[in-house]
Structure 1
Amino acid sequence: MVNEVDSYPTKNSGRIPLCIFFKGARDVFKLDKLGSEIAQIAFPAALALLADPIASLVDTAFIGQIGPVELAAVGVSIAVFNQVSRIAIFPLVSVTTSFVAEEDAVQVVNQEEAQQIGYLEMSQTINNESKELIEEIGIPPSSTILPNSAESGFKPELLDENTDAPNSKHQIRHIPSALSALVIGGILGLIQAILLISAARPILKFMGVKSDSPMLIPAQQYLALRSLGAPAVLLSLAMQGVFRGFKDTTTPLYATVAGDVTNIILDPIFMFFFRLGVSGAAIAHVISQYLISIILLRRLMKHVYLLPPSIKNLQFSRFLTNGFLLLMRVIAVTFCVTLAASMAARQGSTSMAAFQVCLQVWLATSLMADGLAVAGQAILARAFARKDYNLVVATASRVLHLGLVLGLVLSIILGVGLQFAAKIFTKDVNVLHMISIGIPFVAGTQPLNALAFVFDGVCVAIVSIICLFMLSFSHGFFGIWVALTIYMSLRALAGFWRIGTGTGPWNFLWT
């Protein structure tokens, strides 16, 4: 792979790291070894990431048939649930993916070295036995060809696959970070469930849902019931992080699709047949999340030992140290979207209902670029572990170009299609009018969103929060979307700046 990419830019060469943004731009659709690997990881990862947002869109469509108040109430509850979940999810999944990819890469290298040692020892044994046989027979050494010589044709790869040589494809692996992620995910899920169930009403009031608001009761019911699935959500996402570390995005895809199809089937049954309304939507979602967790756990047990040799093998301190930095960034970054939902809720149920539809479409389509980010993260983790900086640069530039193209395509599709698709979610004329105001922002920000998700840049929340307060009060619903556009623009620019200046993990570009 190293031979397929150019040398990475260095300070001594006089080239600026910013040039990696344009490196290999002509090869954006090239299905070479790198392109194929990105596609094999990113495509199922994007489908897996899209499965849940699509299920949420279906939930939104069903709930929208009940009425705008219920649609707005569920929107506030989802914003709260997602804010609390993402505080744990993104650091947990990102750290898990990187740690598992690194440990797996190291184990593969160690197994290859052990395999080579085993072959050499086997060859030496054959050589010694041949010498003893030659001496007994009395054949002159010059007329013999020993099995370990180049002329003998001895090839280790022709050995029987049932020998004792390590075979990583069929071994159950010892990955300490995998079990650590499951334990941490389960604990955080329980804490989240207890927090949201016990404090649902005051949290919703903080979000702008007043005591006399018609949104309060359905929002509280939905939030409390959906919070019962928090442990399953964090456990399933932790396991998805493990599979991503193995560069296996197909297994999470199957599990997520199975769970979300179940959710879509159960939604109308609980909501309309049993007449449970928004509570039925929450119950269907919780059942689907536990189904996803069970499927992933059964599959993971076939690949990883989930019982450590000792407690010391768990890596809680490593997770906490690395996850804390991500945690601070994620709190600030995700808080911007939650604050936007709060501002919309304070303007009434019509604004909140429109914001819920626009936000779900905005996030669902934007998360398609996150599939590229997953592929980039898995390949980069292995490349950094092997110090293959040429592959690092090639991967970063290729994923960036693909993300930009994806964002432009999504922008065109949403700009045209959402005008007609909005009626699927609601029939309310006032809500549809508010949605039409948000459509240009939902469509126009897709390229920025794609770059922001691919980069996952540093915290730019302070400026974004100030913009949200100022613009929402001065320009209402329109101002909220202007502020969110600024927020995503700053995230994308921060990512450009970080790589362009060679800071953080990209400091090797200046060495």
Structure 2
Amino acid sequence: MAVAQFTNAPCWGVAGKERERRTFVNLSRELPLNGSEVTQTGGHSLVKKRRVSIFGGVSRRCQSISDQQALDFELHTDPYNEDISTSTDGSALHDESTQHSTDSQNLQTELIMLSLPAIAGQAIEPLAQLMETAYIGRLGPLELASAGVSMSIFNIVSKVFNIPLLSVATSFVAEDVARSAGNNSAPFQISQCTGGQYQNGAYERRELPSVSTALLLALAIGVFEALALYFGSGLFLDMMGISSGSSMRIPAEHFLKLRAFGAPAVVVYLAVQGIFRGFKDTKTPILSLGLGNFSAVFFFPLLMYYFHLGVTGAAISTVLSQYIVAFLMIWHLNKRTVLSLPNAHNLHFGGYLKSGGFLLGRTMAAVMTITLSTSMAARQGALAMAAHQICLQVWLSVSLLVDAQAAAGQAMIASSYAKGDYSTVKKIAFFALKTGLITGVSLALLLGLSFNSLATLFTKDAQVLQIVGSGLLFVSASQPINALAYIFDGLHYGVSDFSYAAWSMMAVGALSSVFLLYAPSIVGLSGVWSGLTLFMGLRTLAGYARLSSKEGPWKFLHGDAYKLQVAI
């Protein structure tokens, strides 16, 4: 048998389980199931002989159920939690519509407020690298070339291993926070941007297993990266084409070995950044990143020029600023959660390693495709390569704006999805896609009007600028496609659909790589840009296909969203 009880009171399900607020949807029909019937007695509705009862025009709360009833009955409620007023004069629909509109506006405001600081955070790191490049450039072309190669190696290794951890930490922490907030056995709830607080306002920190796991993994990965970069510096430089006889070899290897000491700090603060995103807090990382990178403004001239350390001083300055960022982030995180070594059985290494492994494969597929495009552009000659590099840098840089929106959507979806609030997940997903498309169209128009002028900031060569002008369509027109691709990635991560994100990226990368291998030999540099546009277009189609599928984590989008089952 199954039971549904209706008055304006809280409801308890099976004895000993946590209290839940149950609400029922408005449907004016009954779905017979195996000839069962519904009876009502004194405010109780009992479903006998396997009938699913759908109540129309009623919104009542569950009344307490005795322990004996709880042993005999089990209550299953709809995850969409829609409240319908009992008023019959038409005001119910108006009130519901008003509440729905208010909830949607609140979600939209939250997504925007999370996105704006994230956009600023995405911009700080590239600006810091530009500042480092500018200081090194004053030392001479040899120093700039040597440091440039080493920075490229460091950035590639960092992206391949660190970005997966950041993305997985965001989803896992958001889910952990949602589960903690849903535990009503204690008067404690996790609040947005604080990590936790009592309902009466008293502040309290809690230990979250997902946070401890992320930090331990970050430390281990950071040490591994540092050792690999330090002892494998020669191998990495060989792979980049810097032979042992090159004049760049010694300064580049020395610079890379020094930068290797900063790898643990970078991995840790990226993991902490993902943790804060899981808290739906994108402001605190901005403060830490800003202060840490601002310190480099002081270190660069002091160590490079005052102490005459040159490129060595630049590397030391960057490493010091990275550890300052890591220290500040951990200091802020310690205010939100209890940072201690947890019990081994509480750690989520299995989930992190599995999901992180999927995203590692995904990231490598994306990096290899972009690298192949650069290699094919280089075969078109020096002028074509210079033009391609300008277009590619602008193309990748503006994508950071949408990537920040995707990260905000990921955190919000992970939180709601963990609580089974699929109605909210649907609203967030559709609004994220809408704002992403608007951002993409806006970027396309902006770049279409300003790209030719923007290109003059990178070069004054007339021939290069002419080739860059032919890439205008690639850079600007592809922005809406790029925006949707990044947003779809955020949606997949939000529901922890990391396996699909990985396998689809590998398939998309393989198809795009085949195109990139042959098209440039036929149509030149346009073939490279067409291949990159195809790459992003296929990513968008893969994302749309997943949301359109009736299988997988998004299947709730295609079910009967207003079906209430009261099952045995």
TM-score, normalised to structure 2's length? 0.68
Whether contact under 8 Å (2:212, 2:342) holds in the other structure is: no
- What is the aligned partner in structure 1 of residue 327 from structure 2? 294
For residue 486 of structure 1, the aligned residue among 521, 534, 549 is 534
Whether contact under 8 Å (2:266, 2:322) holds in the other structure is: yes
Amino acid at match of 1:104: V
Q: Summarize deviations over 1:435-487 as a string: whole Å, max 9, x none.
A: 55555433332222211211125311111222333345556655433322222
Going from structure 1 to structure 2, the CA distance change for 1:250 and 1:471 (only over 3 Å counts) comes to: same
Going from structure 1 to structure 2, the CA distance change for 1:431 and 1:77 (only over 3 Å counts) comes to: farther
Distance 1:412 1:364 in 2: 16
Going from structure 1 to structure 2, the CA distance change for 1:444 and 1:65 (only over 3 Å counts) comes to: farther
- 1:83 and 2:156 are equivalent in the alignment: yes
Count of aligned pairs between the two proteins:
442
Whether contact under 8 Å (1:72, 1:215) holds in the other structure is: yes
Q: 1:54-133 alignment to 2 at 5 Å?
A: 54-60=127-133, 76-110=149-183, 112-115=184-187
Q: Gaps spanning 5+ residues in structure 1: where?
A: 8-26, 117-163
- 1:374 and 2:411 are equivalent in the alignment: no
- What is the aligned partner in structure 2 of residue 504 from structure 1? 552
For residue 195 of structure 1, the aligned residue among 228, 242, 247 is 228
Name the SS of the counterpart of 1:481 in structure 2: helix
Name the SS of the counterpart of 1:302 in structure 2: helix
Q: 1:108-507 alignment to 2 at 5 Å?
A: 108-110=181-183, 112-115=184-187, 170-209=203-242, 219-264=252-297, 266-267=299-300, 280-343=313-376, 355-426=388-459, 435-436=468-469, 438-456=471-489, 457=501, 458-459=504-505, 460-472=508-520, 477-507=525-555
Q: Summarize deviations over 1:291-321 as a string: whole Å, max 9, x none.
A: 1111101111111111144232222122112
Amino acid at match of 2:128: A
Question: How far off is 1:176 after superposition?
Answer: 1.0
Percent of matched pairs sharing the same residue:
41
Distance 2:330 2:110 in 1: 25
Going from structure 1 to structure 2, the CA distance change for 1:439 and 1:384 (only over 3 Å counts) comes to: same
Question: How far off is 1:182 after superposition?
Answer: 0.9
Question: How far off is 1:496 after superposition?
Answer: 1.4
Distance 2:305 2:527 in 1: 36
Amino acid at match of 2:425: V
Whether contact under 8 Å (1:182, 1:239) holds in the other structure is: yes
Whether contact under 8 Å (2:169, 2:214) holds in the other structure is: yes
Question: How far off is 1:222 after superposition?
Answer: 4.5
Whether contact under 8 Å (1:189, 1:231) holds in the other structure is: yes
For residue 43 of structure 1, the aligned residue among 116, 120, 125 is 116
Distance 1:361 1:353 in 2: 13
Whether contact under 8 Å (1:63, 1:71) holds in the other structure is: yes
More helix by share: 1
TM-score, normalised to structure 1's length? 0.75
Name the SS of the counterpart of 1:249 in structure 2: coil
Question: How far off is 1:208 after superposition?
Answer: 4.5
Going from structure 1 to structure 2, the CA distance change for 1:506 and 1:197 (only over 3 Å counts) comes to: same
Q: Gaps spanning 5+ residues in structure 2: where?
A: 1-21, 28-99, 189-196, 490-500, 560-568
Name the SS of the counterpart of 1:505 in structure 2: coil
- What is the aligned partner in structure 2 of residue 151 from structure 1? none
Distance 2:526 2:202 in 1: 54
- What is the aligned partner in structure 1 of residue 76 from structure 2? none
> Which segment is superposed worse, 284-293 or 76-85?
76-85
Whether contact under 8 Å (2:104, 2:427) holds in the other structure is: no
Name the SS of the counterpart of 1:114 in structure 2: coil
- What is the aligned partner in structure 2 of residue 146 from structure 1? none
Whether contact under 8 Å (1:101, 1:246) holds in the other structure is: yes
Going from structure 1 to structure 2, the CA distance change for 1:402 and 1:437 (only over 3 Å counts) comes to: same
Name the SS of the counterpart of 1:171 in structure 2: coil
> Which segment is superposed worse, 459-468 or 357-366?
357-366
- What is the aligned partner in structure 2 of residue 147 from structure 1? none
Query: Please, what is the CA RMSD of the aligned residues?
Result: 3.7
Name the SS of the counterpart of 2:340 in structure 1: coil
Distance 1:98 1:50 in 2: 22
Question: How far off is 1:341 after superposition?
Answer: 4.1
